Structures are given as structure tokens and as C-alpha cells.
Structure 1
Amino acid sequence: MTDLLRTTLGAAAIAGLAATSLSAQETVVWWDFLGGGDGVRMKQLIEDFNAAHQSEIAVDATTLEWGVPFYTKVQTSVAVGEAPDIMTYHASRIPLAVDQNLLSEITPEDWATMGLGQGDYAEATWDAVSVDGKQYAVPLDTHPIVLYYNKDLLAAAGRLNDDGTPMGMDSREGFTQTLQALKDSGVTFPLGSVTADGTFMFRTIYSLVGQQDGELMTDGEFLAGDNAEKLTNALGVLAEWTEAGLQSTYTDYPATVALFTSGEAAMMINGVWEVPTMVDLEKDGKLFSWGAVELPVIFDHASTYADSHAFAIPNGNDMSPEKRAAVLEVMGWISQNSLFWATAGHIPAYGPVTQSDEYAKMEPNATYSSLTSNMIFDPKTPLAGVAGPIYDVMSTYFVPTLNGEMDPAEAVEEIKAELNDL
């Protein structure tokens, strides 16, 4: 054999190996709805995944508009056979998606392949992505609402505990005393709430209903039994705070954040996703000493509304076993490496991450993560979920009630009638 032939054959062999390697790489088409700080962090996680799986799996990611536009596009894409291989999904939207036959079941074999299982998740989180005993998504996080607070203003009002947390967190009377003490000390708004947006305030109101063991839906009926009374109680206490000047009125989302960060509001109820805002401002020397804790117990026991970002696989794709294996690797790897996702304020759903020493050092995350044992999700109905019709109906009546223009009992009567008409 001549040297030229050896060289030619060697080059051909190398080219063949390269072709085999390239053909073995699976490209996973990804859709998400993650903007802002969430989007930045998820893009970094995807970059990290791709770097760790070079020549094996490549995630090709696209970010779409949050809310109704995203879910409408998913529905259309499944119908025409052009869905992505993996997508982010809200746990609250899963009953509707299953009803529309949009999601592929995550089977017990899939969970075993990912190295994940029910024992890795809080019971409520696992249940939130299941319908009729089948799992339809892999939870990435829980993103509840929490109480942000200004330690300096609370200290000045004499309502800061030695451990740096607000006083009066264990009762309606105690928390109202804290709000009143802040007002008496000259604070403009003791509590900042997004009272101009009933859809957002659903989170707070539903938490207070949960503190009374209330249910929005029971056996297909809305506000059955004494649940209407419990919703009235929840609206009533918020309306009382408004009437007493203890809570901001007709405040939209950006204004609520601005009131808190400027010091005009001493406390704020908002999502954990605002933690990066506070961290960045504090780092730049533009914020007071602050903290975030689980919501106060206004009624019988702790309870906090939450939703989950999750990973789902759309129906309708003719997915090869190799492609599905790649998709499962993406979901499993990001779940097991979700500590960085916690820097967005979210509580990682994968238990070993939140039980790690690294997570225990993350504040205020580690402080409020205890609420995972008290959290409640939307009722399991196709009418619930982000941007769903339940939100539309209730928000219509929440805004005037929270701002002192409608009686809570009257509002609940109208809400119950309209929800059951759905």
C-alpha cells in the first residue's frame, strides 16, 4: 500500500468518524416564555447544558411572548405538527392542556431515565403536574408570593424582631398592629399591593382563603358550602386595610415595586421573582436593608398560593427514541443543576437542590423556602391557570372591592354566580 493510499484512506476514515459524530448529535427545539431576569438565567443554563453536551445534544431555544399568546401558539403548533420538542409550561395550565390533548405523558420509564422521581418533589408540586394519576410535566420551580419588608422602617416603628423579621406575623391582630405602627411612624403606605390588578391580587386572596382551609372549587362547583364565606373573609380583611389607609390603592405592578424600593411602602406582597431586583439595587448601594418572608398568618394557619414553571413535551411530534432521550436529558440535567435558577428568586422544585448547603446560604430564598410545605395551587380545572377565565371573572370584582368601592359579600355573590355559569 502506498503512502498516498494510506493517507487517503486515513483521511476518509477520519471524515467518516466526523460524519458519524455529527449525525449522532440531537438538536432539541425549545420554546419558553421567560423574559427579564428569568430569561437571562435560563439562557445561561442552556449555554451550560450545550457546553456540557457538545457533539451530543444541542438545545435550539426561542423565547416567545408570555401568557395567552404563548399558549395559543402551542395549541396551533400541535395541531399542524410543528410543535417544539420541549417547552416551558405553567403547572396551573396543565389541566387545560390535557383537556386539549396538547401534552405527552411523562411516563414512569421517562422519570427513571432522567434519574428523578416523586420523592424528589414536594407533594403539592408533584400533584400540580398530574392529571388522573399521570404526570405531564417536570417541575422546575415553585414561584410563590412573599412579603418583602424594609428593616429600617420596621425598626424605626418598633416592629422588628431580634432576628430581623417583622413582628406580628402569626395573627391578623398582630400584623394589623404592625401596619398601624408603621403608619403612625409616618410611613406613607405600610403595605404596597398590586390593587389595580385583580388577576395579580388573586394570589394574595387565594392564599388567605387557603389559610381557612377554603376551596375555590369542590366537585365541579365553585365556592360550594362555606367557601363563599371564606372568600368574603379574605376580601374583607384586605378591604379593611384599605379603608384604614394601611394599604396602597389602585396601584399597578410597576408602581407597587417603585413604592417599596423608594421607601414609601414599608412592606410589599409580590412574587419571589422580584428578589433579583432587590439584590441588584442593594449591590449598587441604592436600597435599604431588606428581607423577604412567608406571608403572615391572618387566619388559621400558614398557606401561600404558588405556581410552577415546568418542562413539558408537546403531543404531535413524530419523535424518535433518540430525540426523546435527548429531551429527557435536557429536563433532567437542568432540574439537577437548578441552583443557579434560584438566583431568580424561585424555589427549585428538585428537592436535593433546596436541601443542599449551597442553597442554605442563599438569602432570602432559604428563609422563605419553608412555605413549600404550606403552598396551594390552582384548582384542577381547564378553567383555571395563568390567563384563564377564572382569573378574568374574579379580577373584575376584586379591584373595586380591594379599593373600597364594593362590599366584599356582594362581590363574592357576583363571583360565585359568574364562575358557576362558566
Structure 2
Amino acid sequence: MSDQLSRRGLLKAAAALAGSGLLVGCAPGASRSATDLSYWHLLTGGDGTVMAGLVDAVNAANLGFHATQTVLAWGPPYYTKLAMASAGGRAPDVAIMHASRIAGYAPGGLLEPWDLDLLAEVGLHESDFPARVWEKCQYDGKLYAIALDTHPFVLYYNTEHAERAGVTDALHSMKSPEEFTEIAAKLQKVTGKHGLSYGYLGDGSQMWRLFYTFYRQTGADMKLVPGQKAQVDKDAAVKTLTFIQSLLNDTIASRSGDGGTATSEFLHGESGMFLGGVWELPVLKDAKMPVDALPIPTLFGTQAAYADSHTFVLPRQSKVSPERRKHVYTMVAEILKRSVKWAGGGHIPAYQPVAHSAEYQALKPQSNYAGIPAYVNYDPDVWFTGAGSDFQNYFAENVQNVFLGSGDPAAGFDGFVARLNKLLDRPQPV
């Protein structure tokens, strides 16, 4: 870490990066043995149960260490505490971080890079990961994260409704907004309510996931560089927002549905398609409904999908135990090698020997969308974007009325860009 950065400066920066919330509680102490690993993550519910099982399995392998999990609340509470612990040099040995947050944490020394030679010693190499995912885990030429998965936004559909509507083949081959709308209309006639379920009300993340998928499908990019104006394609944004607005007409899809309403509607057979994250899969499968899943179809010419990745990071510590650090490399490698269990929750394994295994390929519908990491799109790289930040809320503040049908797409996007430019004009906290 740069000698010019004071501890006080880092603490202030960490608080700014986290977006909101205060540090509560203490970071791990320095008196632990070299075989006692501290592992922080924000995985709860079904994901938390699976991760606990993976850690238990690694501990049971008697590899010379024992990992202890600390589970913290998702979002700002987690990222605030992790940033503050790293700034103070009293962080856990290893932690989970969304790939979309690396650009905010790596520049100022809040994370430490992974050693490629040590990774090779535990059997992990660049070739074991999708190129775009590996690239996202880097900053300034150094590897700051090891990806566990890719978790994209996908299209689910009710197989029985699709068969009755005669659109099963068309779902797999559609290539235009018009075809998508036509299929949704046919499904609506079968369900009698909606053709598509999509919940977004009050949820900037849901709005952004769908918008950014279709925006990138037009071939447009979005580059955010501190000190410069946001580089965006307004025409592509207006085209995307206009299409989304056309779907939310209370016939194809509810004009004002939230996440819970959309999920419930699809579960009860009141729609034929459902736009949601792969993390929704366990709920759908538990309901024993006839469901399949696909990548969101390429409707605007360029293959693109929004996603994020859970990654393992090395938070900054004021004093690193070389023995404990080597154990961390082993622990991460062992979790990755067992990550077909993680895929049961809908996530795409980042570790390619697992992703290409017969066991994973047999998982349905998970393996249907296994190709997404080849063309995945993450949030733009800048300090204020990423999971659990306010970036997607800024999007919602300006475009929710567009989704509701009462706002102008051009004006809504202009408002979002104006907000981005104010943030880009501020000095980067670290």
C-alpha cells in the first residue's frame, strides 16, 4: 500500500466506498493460530447452507487448517464492515466479494493481490476460468479476486404453457423484440393473465439488470472514468427503455410489479415467462413446477447478458502469516473443486473443470445457460458501482417512472447520466 496513504484517509475512504452504514463490532484478532482461518461472507438462505456444507467438507478433509465462517448482512452492512476492517489491517484471512466491487476496493490497498505461483501450487491457473471472468477479477494488471461463479439474469419459462401456446421452439430461436412480444402475447392467451412476469418496483437492481442486458445487446458500451463525462450511447438507451416500457402494459407484463409479486405470479401459473436471476431457481424447483431456463435471448443483434460473480478476495492485513496465507490458497482451491454443489443453487461454476464435468452438464436447467460467461457484462468499472452500492438506486431514481409508463425514456436516461457525471466529477475516495 502506498506510503502516502494515512490510516485515517483509508478509513474515510472505506466508509465512502461502502456507500452507507457504520462499522459495528470488531475485526478478527491477531492471536489466532496459523491453522485457524477466518472467512467472511454475505451468503444466506440456500446459498449460505450450501457454502457452510462446502466449508465443512474442506475442514473434514484434514488439510492442516480449520476455516471458521462469519456471515454478515448482505449489501452495505457487509461491504462497510469489510472495508473498515481492511483499512484498519484487521481483516479476515479471506472473504467473498462481488466482482463488481473490485474496482472500488483494489486501488487503495484494501485488497491484496493473489500470487499466481501459489495458485499454481494448489492447481489453479488462468486457463481454469472464463476469460471475461478472469479479466474482471483484475485491476491494474494484478489479480485481486478468484471467481467462484457467474450469476446472470436469465429467462425462465413454464414448459406446459409454452407447449400449449406452441412457442417452445420459438423460445429457443427468437432474434428480435417483435418475436419476443409475439411469444409473450401467445402465452398471455394461455394464462389469461400475463405472458411475462418481471418485478422491478422499488428495486433498482432489477431495473438495471434488464436494461443493461438489452443495452449491451445493441452493441452499446458505457464507460465511466473519474474526471471525465460518462461515455454512453443515448440512442441505444432510449431504444432499450422504450422496448421495456412496451412490455410493461398490464397485458404482456404488470406495469407495476415488484419482485415478490412477479415470483408468486409465475409460481402460480399466471404467466408463461419470468425474468429473474439464477438464484431464483431453487424456489422454482422446490415448487415442483414445470420450468426450464435459457439465457435472455439476443434481441438486438449482439450477444450480451448482465451478471455478477461471487469471488474470493484477500482483504488487507497489517501482518500476514505466510503459513495461514498458504492455507487460504488451499481452502479456496478445495471449495472450487467441489463447486458443482454450489451450482445446485443456480450459479454457473467459474472453475472450468467443474463447469465442463459430466456432473454439472447433467444439471438441468443450469447447464442450459452455462455459456453465458463467454459474453457476460458486469457493471462498468468505477469506484461507485457494484452490488450493494447506490449505483443501481441512482438508475431507479431516474427511470422508474419510465418503467411505470409515465416517464419519457430520453429524459429519464438524461437524469441518470447527469447523476453519473456528478459522481465522476468527485475525487475517487482511494
Using structure 2 for the length normalisation, give the TM-score: 0.87
Amino acid at match of 2:362: K
Paired residue for 2:389? Answer: 388
How far apart are 1:398 and its partner, in Å?
2.5
Instruction: Give the distance between the partners of 2:65 and 2:275, measured in 1 at CA.
Output: 41
Paired residue for 1:210? Answer: 216
Q: Is 1:26 the equivalent of 2:35?
A: yes
How far apart are 1:243 and its partner, in Å?
3.0
CA contact (8 A) 1:187 1:266 kept: no
Amino acid at match of 2:329: L
Q: Between Structure 1 and Structure 2, whose CA radius of gyration is higher?
A: 1
Describe the shift of the 1:185–1:281 C-alpha distance in structure 2 as closer, same or farther (beyond 3 A). closer
How far apart are 1:332 and its partner, in Å?
1.0
Size of the aligned set, in residue pairs, is 390
How far apart are 1:74 and its partner, in Å?
0.7
Q: Is 1:296 the equivalent of 2:302?
A: no
Instruction: Give the distance between the partners of 1:415 and 1:328, measured in 2 at CA.
Output: 41
SS in 1 for 2:396: helix
**Stretches of 4+ moved more than 6 A in 1?**
none
CA contact (8 A) 2:152 2:278 kept: yes
CA contact (8 A) 1:114 1:331 kept: no
Amino acid at match of 2:369: Y
SS in 2 for 1:306: strand
Match for residue 127 of structure 2 among 119, 123, 146 = 119
CA contact (8 A) 2:128 2:353 kept: yes
Describe the shift of the 1:231–1:71 C-alpha distance in structure 2 as closer, same or farther (beyond 3 A). same
How far apart are 1:278 and its partner, in Å?
1.8
Instruction: Give the distance between the partners of 1:377 and 1:118, measured in 2 at CA.
Output: 19
How far apart are 1:168 and its partner, in Å?
5.3
Using structure 1 for the length normalisation, give the TM-score: 0.88
Instruction: Give the distance between the partners of 1:181 and 1:32, measured in 2 at CA.
Output: 43
SS in 1 for 2:344: helix
Q: Deviations over 1:239-270 (max 9, x none)?
A: 01113731222222222211111111211111
Q: Deviations over 1:22-74 (max 9, x none)?
A: x98701011110011100100000110000126x1101111100110001001
SS in 2 for 1:277: helix
SS in 2 for 1:217: coil
Q: Deviations over 1:355-406 (max 9, x none)?
A: 1111111100111112222211111111211132321211112321111010
SS in 2 for 1:319: coil
Instruction: Give the distance between the partners of 1:312 and 1:325, measured in 2 at CA.
Output: 14
Describe the shift of the 1:336–1:376 C-alpha distance in structure 2 as closer, same or farther (beyond 3 A). same
Amino acid at match of 1:291: D
Paired residue for 1:366? Answer: 367
Match for residue 189 of structure 1 among 177, 182, 194 = 194
Amino acid at match of 1:374: Y
Q: Is 1:247 the equivalent of 2:253?
A: yes
SS in 1 for 2:379: coil
Match for residue 174 of structure 1 among 161, 176, 179 = 179
Query: Structure 1: where are the runs of 5+ without partners?
Result: 1-22
Amino acid at match of 2:50: R
Amino acid at match of 1:224: Q
Equivalent runs, 1:19-418 vs 2, <5 Å: 26-53=35-62, 56-161=64-169, 166=171, 169-196=174-201, 197-217=203-223, 221=228, 223-224=230-231, 227-243=233-249, 245-282=251-288, 287=289, 289-418=290-419
CA contact (8 A) 2:339 2:349 kept: yes
Amino acid at match of 1:216: M
Instruction: Give the distance between the partners of 1:121 and 1:167, measured in 2 at CA.
Output: 27
Amino acid at match of 1:180: A
Instruction: Give the distance between the partners of 2:357 and 2:66, measured in 1 at CA.
Output: 29
CA contact (8 A) 2:34 2:324 kept: no
How far apart are 1:167 and its partner, in Å?
5.5
Q: Deviations over 1:219-254 (max 9, x none)?
A: 5556536x1211111111000111373122222222
SS in 1 for 2:315: coil
SS in 1 for 2:241: helix
Instruction: Give the distance between the partners of 2:89 and 2:385, measured in 1 at CA.
Output: 26
Query: Structure 2: where are the runs of 5+ without partners?
Result: 1-31, 424-430
SS in 2 for 1:243: coil
Instruction: Give the distance between the partners of 1:317 and 1:365, measured in 2 at CA.
Output: 41
Paired residue for 1:3? Answer: none
Task: Provide the aligned C-alpha RMSD in A.
Answer: 1.8
Instruction: Give the distance between the partners of 1:167 and 1:108, measured in 2 at CA.
Output: 40
Amino-acid identity (%): 31
CA contact (8 A) 1:195 1:249 kept: no
SS in 2 for 1:419: helix
Amino acid at match of 2:367: A
